[in-house]
Amino acid sequence: MAPIIGIDLGTTNSVVAVMDKTGPRIVPNSLGERLTCSVVGFTKSGEILVGKKARRGAIMNIGRTVFSIKRHMGTNFRVRIDEKEYTPQEISAMILQKLKQDTEEYFGEEISQAVITCPAYFTDSQRQATKDAGEIAGLTVRRIIDEPTAAALAYGLDKEKDQTLLVYDLGGGTFDVSIIEIISGVFRVMGINGNTRLGGDDFDQRIVAHLVEKFKEEHGIDLADDAIAMQRLKEVAEESKIELSEVNESHILCEAITMSEKGPLTLETTLTRSTLEKLIKDLVESTRSPIDMALQDAGITTSQIDTVLLVGGSTRIPMVQRLVKEHLNIAPHRDISPEEVVAMGAAIQTDVIAPIGAELEDSLAAPYDKEKMVVIHMTPFSLGVGLENDQLGAIIERNSTYPTEAKDIFTTTRDFQEAISFPIYEGESPIASENTFLDLLRIEGITPAPRGVPRIEVTFHLTPDRILEARAEDLATGQEKKITIQATSAKLSDAEKQRMITDAKNRVTAMLRSRVADSIEHEAQETINRLDAVLRAQPDNALSKELKTNREKMRKALTDRRDEDLEDLTLEAMRLLAQVEAMSS
């Protein structure tokens, strides 16, 4: 049976993991690499590239390559390529589709189900968009799980000691901090905070701005006006940042980065670790407040933290590690890959949802009893409805565990109302309009009565994926209205989603056809080469005429890309070549 896969859908890189008899393990992509770049490129010929190919081609594909789409999930942001617009869900689905295809090739069977992770501080609309992306990619999304919680699952899988864990998750585009208590296999989230607009991309941008300024001072030319130069700077900035996690100086060289009246100009400089730290100091320092707020929500102090787990590639930066150690007065735990731990936790969650099978379960190497494993999640945002005078009536309070259900009674504000609308918001301000608007719940058919008489019960249900479902019921008549919340700005209609799913399937079909065609054409060219070699060695062979005729037909079919004819002609050529070989022996 095909496994359910765990996917860490990252801003910069994405990772796939599965559970087997030894526990969670990473599934390599088609290049044999454990990380897949979360980059999508659109070539001028219409091909869609995902991963390293898209990243490598970005310089020559300016304006047609999409980076860091995760930062736009749950918004009305659109990518415009060749007069066509793509939503963040569609771009993310292309990444997920690539991960799905690579995993299918690895296992040799179709993959249809997944657990996908997202930042703990993602809003309802961002989580829904993540789930939509999975469905567009052809996956049944069994669960959306918070990245820090997934990391805690991976870390705590083989730990028998009860402890309180702080997960500091700083990735390419988002930052989360979660306080998680682990007691006898129960993982209870106690506090969450973060910033969905902070990550390694921001560090890279500081380096790019620094390089642009230095070049301008030296040559009087502003590289910010040159799209190709800026893409090259972005790449060297990230490479330099990564290098400076291991060394104190990084040599940066961009030959012929732009042209001047005197000819091409080269950018060459040295970036030191101390300069990098000055450039990003305020960004790194800004992570202190979310740590304190998460601790406050959890009702504990730093002295009560037993373990600090660093998650995300940006936590490899020495300055980040120093800040965490100094702020919490505890050395971070570093014996697990910060880039891979989230996907591994997602894989563990797949086994909790659907056991990997008794034959594997009995041989698990780690002390792992999924019957006792329980994850108690917590929502970092209040959910409520807008009331008269723009007040927020909270129904599910911040820091509530989920899945959960809560309800409240409301009434009309005008005499003989026959309908009532409840704008639904997510956030902490007592002023409704200052929070994030999610959707509108409207119930009609209320029995006309003086204001204040009707009793309308509004129920909020928060699913295990932390996606909100709302229901309004007129208690007098039983009339009700139900909706699953989707942020209006990012909402996909059923028709839009189905169109995207169809487009995604067509892309897979086209890709598979292309692969088959490439294989046929490659084999045909190899056969033509063999025919050439035989005709050169034996020009007067009894079969020379047939060999030449077959070769020319193959060349014509190859030029015209008639793959069906190529297959038949290749078989005919192989028959003739076998006859020549038999005659020679």
Residues identified as active-site? 8, 70, 147, 169
Measured from the Cβ of residue 568, the count of other Cβ atoms closer than 10 Å reads 13
Q: Classify residue 2 by burial, with Cβ atoms within 10 Å: 0-12, 13-18, 19+.
A: middle
Check: CB of residue 456 under 8 Å from CB of residue 443. Answer: yes
Question: CA nearest 437: which of 77, 73, 75, 70?
Answer: 75
The tokens describing 326, both together, are 């100094």
Vertex 446 angle, CA 442 and 448, to 5° = 135
Q: Which long-range contacts (CB under 8 A, 24 or more apart) does 42-51 make?
A: 42/81, 42/82, 48/94, 48/507, 50/94, 50/95, 50/97, 50/98, 51/95, 51/98
Q: How far apart are the first and last CA of the chain?
A: 50
Backbone angles phi, psi at 269, to 5 degrees: -160, 175
Check: CB of residue 244 under 8 Å from CB of residue 275. Answer: no
3-state secondary structure of 476: coil
Check: CB of residue 76 under 8 Å from CB of residue 86. Answer: no
Question: CA nearest 169: which of 273, 281, 287?
Answer: 287
487 alpha-carbon distance from chain centroid: 19
Q: Classify each residue of 387-400 as buried b or exposed e, where b means 16 or more C-beta atoms within 10 Å of its C-beta.
A: eeeeebbbbbebbb
Question: CA nearest 146: which of 120, 115, 179?
Answer: 120
Backbone angles phi, psi at 407, to 5 degrees: -145, 160
Question: CA nearest 132: which of 448, 500, 579, 410?
Answer: 500
Q: Classify residue 151 by burial, with Cβ atoms within 10 Å: 0-12, 13-18, 19+.
A: buried
Give the C-alpha separation, 319 to 448, whole Å. Answer: 65
What is the number of H-type helices and E-type strands within the chain? 14, 27
